Amino acid sequence: MEAEAARRSPALSVFDAPADARVAAVFDSPHSGADYPADFRPALPMAELRKAEDMYVDDFYAPAPDHGAALLLARFPRVYLDANRAVEDMDEGLLDAPWPGPLAPGIKTECGLGLIWRLSSDARPIYDRKLSVAEAQARIDACHAPYHAALKRLLDARHAAFGRVYHVNCHSMPALSGPRAPEGEGVARADFVLGDRDGTTCAPDFTHAVAECLTGLGYSVALNDPYKGVELVRAYADPASGRHSLQVEINRRLYMDETTFEKSADYAATGAAVARLIATVVAFAQTA
C-alpha cells in the first residue's frame, strides 16, 4: 500500500520501461523539482531561490526509460525540502518549538543546508519567520516520505528481479565553489564529479566505468572531490548484496547561464553526453 501511495503522490514522477524491457538500473533526480507549494512563503525572490534547483537535470536523464531503466523525479523544490538529507537532519534553529523526533544535524545543516534549508545558495535567510513543528512535519510527510518510498520500491523491485541494481543519483553543481566551501570561494569544479562516499556505496568497477565514459568524451572528472554523495546514495546502498549507488554531479557551465537560467549553446552536446552515460550504466548493469 505504501508503494501504491508513493506512485500516486503529487510530490514525484516515476517513468519506467515496459516490464519486459527493464534492466537493473534506476536513476533519480531529487533536486530538479520546481512546483513551489503555496505554504512555502519564503522571504527571498524566486530568482535567488531557483539557484538551488538542479535545473534541466530531469531533461538530461529523460531518455533513461528508453534504455530499460527507471527514472524518479522530485516535483517539490529542494529549498522546500531536500530529499538528499535524513529526516534527523533537521535544523532546529529554523523552528518555533523543539523538534519532537531524534536529531542528528550534519555539517551542511550547520551551514543552513539541512533537510529544510534555512539559508539560500547565496547564504541569505530564506524565511522572515520561524516554521512550526507541524509545518516541518507536513513537508516530511508530503515530500520526503513518498520520495524515499518510491526510490526504495524501484530499487527493491530491480534487485528482486535481477539480483543486483545500479542506482545513479543525479545532480548538477555550480561552476565555481561558493562562499561556504571548505576550499574557499571561486574554485573551478571539474566537468563531472562522481561520488561513491569514498568507495563505500558501489563497486569500484562501476565508478570507473562511468568515469571512463566521460573522460572518453573529453570531459574532466573528479572522484569524491568535493562531493562524496549524501543520503540518497548512502541509504539504500549495499555493494556486497548487489545494491550499488553512485552520485553524478554535472557542472552547470556545460549547459546553462547560472544567472539568467538560459540554456547555453552546449546544451544539446551535454545532453548527448548524458545519454552516453545512461547507455554506459545500462550496459554495465546488464553485464555485471
Binding site for Zn ion (CB under 5 A): 31, 54, 171
Decide whether 9 or 247 has the Cβ nearer to Zn ion. 247
Which single residue brings its beta carbon nearest to Zn ion? 171
Name the nearest CA neighbour of 230 among 196, 179, 274.
196
Minimum separation from the CB atom of position 60 to Zn ion (A): 13
Decide whether 83 or 213 has the Cβ nearer to Zn ion. 83
In this structure, what C-alpha cell is assigned to residue 193? 564529479
Minimum separation from the CB atom of position 77 to Zn ion (A): 11
| Amino acid letter, 165 | V
**β strands within the chain, DSSP E:** 12-15, 25-29, 70-74, 165-173, 192-195, 221-223, 243-251
Do 28 and 97 form a contact (C-beta atoms < 8 A)?
no
Decide whether 175 or 288 has the Cβ nearer to Zn ion. 175
Q: Cα–Cα distance between 265 and 105 in angstroms, integer?
A: 40
Minimum separation from the CB atom of position 30 to Zn ion (A): 6
Minimum separation from the CB atom of position 184 to Zn ion (A): 21
Instruction: Kindly state the DSSP code that residue 236 receives in the 8-state scheme.
Output: T
Q: Cα–Cα distance between 288 and 285 in angstroms, integer?
A: 6
Decide whether 31 or 228 has the Cβ nearer to Zn ion. 31
Decide whether 23 or 236 has the Cβ nearer to Zn ion. 236
Minimum separation from the CB atom of position 249 to Zn ion (A): 7
Q: Cα–Cα distance between 171 and 106 in angstroms, integer?
A: 20
Minimum separation from the CB atom of position 254 to Zn ion (A): 15
Q: Positive or negative, the Cα torsion across 44, 46, 47, 50?
A: positive
Q: Cα–Cα distance between 16 and 65 in angstroms, integer?
A: 5
Decide whether 24 or 254 has the Cβ nearer to Zn ion. 254
Minimum separation from the CB atom of position 79 to Zn ion (A): 12
In this structure, what C-alpha cell is assigned to residue 47? 530568482
Name the nearest CA neighbour of 197 among 246, 152, 153.
246
Decide whether 173 or 203 has the Cβ nearer to Zn ion. 173
